Amino acid sequence: MIPIPPWMLTPLFKYGAIAVGALIVVGIVWWQIDSYGDDREKAGRDAVQAEWDKDIAARQKAYIALQDDYRAKEHALAQQVGNIQQEKINAEARTAGLQRRLADSLRKRAERPAGLPDTGAVGADGKDPPKCTGAQLYRDDLQFLQREAEAADGLRHALRACYSQYDAAVVATAR
pLDDT tens, residue by residue, 58-101 = 999 999 999 999 999 999 889 988 998 898 899 889 888 888 88
In the chain, the number of structural domains is 1
In a domain, 37, yes or no: no
- 40 lies in a domain? no
Q: Are 161 and 88 in contact (CB under 8 A)?
A: yes
In this predicted model, what pLDDT tens digit does every residue of 95-142 receive, in sequence order? Answer: 888 888 877 777 776 666 555 554 555 555 556 655 656 666 666 777
Query: What is the pLDDT averaged over residues 10-33?
Result: 89
Domain that holds residue 171: 54-112+135-175
Q: What's the confidence (pLDDT) of residue 122?
A: 54
Residue 12 lies in a domain: no
pLDDT at 121: 54
Residue 90 lies in a domain: yes
Return the exposure string of 25-60: e unless at least 16 CB atoms fall within 10 Å of the residue's CB, then b.
eeeeeeeeeeeeeeeeeeeeeeeeeeeeeeeeeeee
Question: What is the model's pTM?
Answer: 0.40
Q: Considering the domain boundaries, does residue 64 fall inside one?
A: yes
Quick check: 141 and 109 in contact, CB under 8 A? Answer: no
- Asked if residue 61 belongs to a domain, the reply is yes
- 7-17: b (≥16 Cβ within 10 Å) or e: eeeeeeeeeee
